[in-house]
Structure 1
Amino acid sequence: MNLLQRIEHWGDMHHPRWMDIVRIALGIFLCIRGLQFPANMSDMMADVNANLPMPSFALVVLGHYIFLAHLMGGILLILGAYTRIACLIQIPILLGALFFVNSGQELFRPFPAWFVQVLVLGLLVYFLVAGDGPWSMKEPDRRTGA
């Protein structure tokens, strides 16, 4: 049994049911952020371009990737289908937001954006390890085909 299989087995054995409610709430939050993102895409492009100059086409591709990843990843998290893949797709977005977009903003204002991003990043890492849980659409088992 390799390391990934052991992590998956541990996550399946140590997943409380109440964490499924947190997973569903995280999925809803990411869907809402994905739906709000097109209205704020120009602000994100300006922030990213100020910290990390990129060609305009790359910024447009990045913006569309973030929109689709939040929307589809949120739906997958709500359903509990392919949870680890959905989390893996979301993590680079949040790391980029932490390091490039919100790095210069005031840290101690009420409910700072970086606190929410760190919380969401922590939950995504947890669900990357723990998996989908008992209240989910189960992924097909590759070994048995069921």
Structure 2
Amino acid sequence: MGTVKSLNKWANAHTYYPIDILRIIVGIFLFTKGVSFITNAEYYSQLVAPIKNLGGGMLFVHYIIAAHMMGGIMIVFGLLTRWAIIAQLPILLCAFLINFVGEMHVGNMILSFLLFSICVFFLFYGSGKHSADYYFKMNS
């Protein structure tokens, strides 16, 4: 717990608007990706084709969509950002690794690795000073 508090103090002392804008962009991107998975079922079924024969394939599908949509909203507002990021990391890691199991899509691989790296940064950085977490902490 002391580590999280020290990370929050450091992040709040070194917060900048571009980092907050990056957090918001990541959240919007994840939310729109979740919406696109719902609306474009054929494309999504092609993406998860390498893992659809595993047990609980439909559970993966629903987890990915829900985590992207709810996590994206939470990341945009900076509400429980670290928890939302923790829910995204296994999805993004699998999105990166699935390129080696199935057909290689270089664009998807680069995008998932870049998004994974940004999420790892926000896992340590937190939501920053311009977030709902900071607002609730200061007003409690």
For Structure 1 versus Structure 2, the TM-score category normalised by the shorter chain is 0.7 to 0.9
Cα distance between partner residues in 2 of 1:145 and 1:62: 38
Note if 1:12 corresponds to 2:12.
yes
Which 10-residue stretch deviates more, 65-74 or 2-11?
2-11
Match of 2:81 in 1: 83
Residues 55-97 of structure 1: per-residue CA shift (max 9 Å, x gap): 2xx0001110000000000000111111111111101111111
From 54, 60, 63, the counterpart of 2:61: 63
Q: Offset at 1:137?
A: 1.2
Unaligned stretches of 5+ residues in structure 2: none
Aligned to 1:33: 33
User: 1:87-125: per-residue Cα shift (whole Å, max 9, x none)?
Assistant: 1110111111112x2125446x5xx11111111111111
Measure how far apart 1:44 and its partner are: 3.4
RMSD: 2.1
Tell me whether 1:137 sits opposite 2:132 in the alignment: yes
Q: Retained in 1: the 8 A contact 2:74–2:80?
A: yes
Q: TM-score, normalised by structure 1?
A: 0.81
Q: Distance in 2 between matches of 1:23 and 1:45?
A: 27
User: Is contact 2:96-2:109 (8 Å) kept?
Assistant: yes
Change (3 A) 1:63 1:106: closer
Task: Output the amino acid matched with 1:26.
Answer: V
CA distance in 2, matches of 1:61, 1:105: 23
Greater helix share, structure number: 2
Q: Is the 8 A contact 1:34 1:67 kept in 2?
A: yes
Greater RCO (CA < 8 Å, at least 6 residues apart): 1
Work out whether residues 11 and 129 of structure 2, in 8 Å CA contact, stay in contact via their aligned partners in 1.
no
Paired with 2:48 and 2:30, the residues of 1 have a C-alpha distance of 19
Percent of pairs identical after alignment?
A: 33
Q: Distance in 2 between matches of 1:134 and 1:4?
A: 15
Task: Flag structure 1 segments of 5+ consecutive residues without an equivalent.
Answer: none
- Normalising by structure 2, report the TM-score: 0.84
